[in-house]
Amino acid sequence: MAVNFSKWCMGIRPSVYVKDLGKHVGKEVTLKGWLYNKRSSGKLKFLIMRDGSGYVQCVVFKGNVADEVFENADKLTQESSFEVTGKVKVEPRSVGGYELDATDVKIISIAQEYPITPKEHGIEFLIDNRHLWVRSKKQIAILKIRARIVKAIRDFFDSRGFVLFDPPIITPNACEGTSTLFEMEYFDLGKAYLTQSGQLYAESGAMALGKVYTFGPTFRAEKSKTRRHLTEFWMVEPEMAFYDLDDDMDLAEEFLEYIVQCVLTDKQEELKELERDTTKLECVKRPFPRISYTEAVELLKKKGNDFQWGNDFGGADETLIGEEFDRPVMIHRYPSEIKAFYMKRDPENPKVALAVDVIAPEGYGEIIGGSQREDNLDFLLERIKEHNLPQSFFEWYLDLRRFGSVPHSGFGLGLERTVSWICGLDHLREAIPFPRMIYRNTP
RNA sequence: UCCGCGGUAGCUCAAUGGUAGAGCAUGCGGCUGUUAACCGCAGGGUUGCAGGUUCGAUCCCUGCCCGCGGAGCCA
């Protein structure tokens, strides 16, 4: 019996995407996408199609097509979906360098009046329409760079013997005991919280697998209202057995260099769309400057900032320090009092912790926070008491010191801050598809 | 929570104590090379809400609501 295979084998997916038009010069192709913009000149229409992969200008000339085709082109409104068939030609006058000489235009769906016009809009309006705003050129460029950064992060660790180790999102207590967390009722077990960090769990993973990394969303219920904060953000946290603070810093700088160089190599077009000054990114090469907290305080004082040893740096302080260098700067050995309970104190100076923060250049602030972890059971018990943390919640964590404790270190990198810095954004809300902020959880 | 700024057409903004204006978007018309195209015409408004002052308030005053930016906290 004859079977009509074509009925089952042919879907509706496009056979050609805009980014590949260079391979089809002189040939007729059919593209599917949305109308980005339209200009018309009587008998001549220019349709700018976007299909997610790129943009191409399609020329519809009344004399060359059926009346119905020309009418279809006329009916298309901004963001209407359509299919266009035509011959690909090289055209320097056209954006992207190629152009489609249309022979057929099929309407898929006419868009209603599209709210995001080619003129300027306010940020509130754009965020209200975030689900549509992601179709805009700059947003597409940012989202593509974000995806490339995520791939660079995974590639970096996967190719260096790290194992992905997923921590829980729902936790029974605050990991570090400092931040305000999102609270929930967990059946009959009482209150539970959305995680603020996977780090403590990652330590368990490092004791099992040697080198691990966690990568996922984390949550902070702080009422932060600045361009540097989101309530939901992504963090990658490597954790390594038998790494001290120096090893930790070596890894952090190699990691950042790798991410930036990947974006520079693969995302030139997107960086250009964002008008990013790439010479600033090209500087991001090892070695990064390493200064102690104490040296950073002296630097601030020299710059006329009346900063007291023992305080934590604010955003303005970080910017001042960052300005001194053309690449990320690593600040290590912070006062232990302003750092988390699990950070190991420096045996040579117990007033400071073996911690490191990496400050991005150009005022982007802290993108990495890390440390060597306290591996001594007794010291860790002391810290937990000092911080007034409930020891019972940390028994499992203390077990990691009871059963074959080793020196170990790790750090956390904030994904959106990294995206924001590399893209040169002025607010974190554009670095994630759907930002969650104190006064906004929609769309 | 504190400090500062704002709310006028679908969007971005302007204006004056005396009938509310532009650009974009939308509709119609024009143009064979446009690049946020351009030109002409048209529709589109309870000026955030509630009071007060005034002959008259979008404008001045009071309160409230909403938003934005910054601080603290942090990635």
Whether residue A267 is predicted with pLDDT greater than 90 in this model: the reply is yes
Q: Point out the nucleotide closest to A94 (alpha carbon to C1′).
A: B35
**Which CA-bearing residue is nearest the C1' of B39?**
A41
The pLDDT > 90 percentage for chain A reads: 58
CATH of A14-109, one of 3.30.420.40, 3.40.50.720, 2.40.50.140, 3.40.50.2300: 2.40.50.140
Q: Residue A430 CA to nucleotide B8 C1', Å?
A: 28
**Amino acid identity, position A251:** L
Q: Residue A54 CA to nucleotide B74 C1', Å?
A: 37
Q: How confident is the model at residue A246 (pLDDT cuts 50, 70, 90)?
A: very high
Q: Residue A203 CA to nucleotide B71 C1', Å?
A: 34
pLDDT at A174: 57
Q: Residue A11 CA to nucleotide B23 C1', Å?
A: 44
pLDDT in tens, A184-241: 888 988 888 888 889 999 999 999 999 999 999 998 888 777 888 888 999 999 999 9
Q: Where are the domains of chain A?
A: 14-109, 130-430
Whether residue A336 is predicted with pLDDT greater than 60 in this model: the reply is yes
Supply the ipTM of this predicted assembly: 0.83
Q: How confident is the model at residue A439 (pLDDT cuts 50, 70, 90)?
A: confident
Q: Point out the nucleotide closest to A126 (alpha carbon to C1′).
A: B11
pLDDT in tens, A29-59: 999 999 998 888 888 999 999 999 999 999 9
Least confidently predicted of A15-19, A122-126, A163-167, A175-179: A175-179
Query: How far apart are alpha carbons A387 and A64 in whole angstroms?
Result: 78
Query: How far apart are alpha carbons A414 and A431 in whole angstroms?
Result: 11
Asked, as a colleague might, if the bond just before A435 is cis with ω within 30 of 0, I would say: no
Q: Point out the nucleotide closest to A426 (alpha carbon to C1′).
A: B69
pLDDT at A177: 53
Q: Residue A263 CA to nucleotide B46 C1', Å?
A: 53
Q: How confident is the model at residue A7 (pLDDT cuts 50, 70, 90)?
A: low
pLDDT in tens, A92-106: 888 888 999 999 999
Q: Point out the nucleotide closest to A37 (alpha carbon to C1′).
A: B36
Q: Point out the nucleotide closest to A218 (alpha carbon to C1′).
A: B75
The pLDDT > 70 percentage for chain A reads: 96
Average pLDDT score over chain A:
90
pLDDT at A9: 63
Whether residue A162 is predicted with pLDDT greater than 70 in this model: the reply is yes
**Which CA-bearing residue is nearest the C1' of B38?**
A41
pLDDT at A401: 97
Backbone φ and ψ of A311, nearest 5°:
-85, 165
pLDDT at A176: 54
Q: Point out the nucleotide closest to A118 (alpha carbon to C1′).
A: B36
Higher pLDDT, A339 or A438: A339
Q: Residue A125 CA to nucleotide B46 C1', Å?
A: 23
Q: How confident is the model at residue A381 (pLDDT cuts 50, 70, 90)?
A: very high
Q: Residue A427 CA to nucleotide B61 C1', Å?
A: 37
Most trustworthy range by pLDDT among A64-78, A201-215, A360-374: A201-215
Q: Residue A76 CA to nucleotide B39 C1', Å?
A: 22
Q: Point out the nucleotide closest to A369 (alpha carbon to C1′).
A: B75
Instruction: Report the CATH fold assignment for A130-430.
Output: BirA Bifunctional Protein; domain 2 (3.30.930)
Q: Point out the nucleotide closest to A63 (alpha carbon to C1′).
A: B32
Whether residue A2 is predicted with pLDDT greater than 80 in this model: the reply is no
Q: Residue A352 CA to nucleotide B22 C1', Å?
A: 62
Least confidently predicted of A182-191, A209-218, A273-282, A404-413: A182-191
First to last CA, chain A: 53
Q: Residue A431 CA to nucleotide B37 C1', Å?
A: 32
Q: Residue A403's closest CA among A208, A172, A175, A164?
A: A208
Q: What angle do CA A96, A101, A102 make, to 5 degrees?
A: 115
pLDDT at A311: 86
Q: Residue A276 CA to nucleotide B44 C1', Å?
A: 39
List all nucleotides in chain B with at least one atom under 7 A from a protein Cβ.
Answer: 1-2, 10-13, 23-27, 30-38, 66-75
Higher pLDDT, A25 or A315: A25
Q: Point out the nucleotide closest to A415 (alpha carbon to C1′).
A: B75
Rg over alpha carbons for chain A, rounded to the nearest Å, is 27
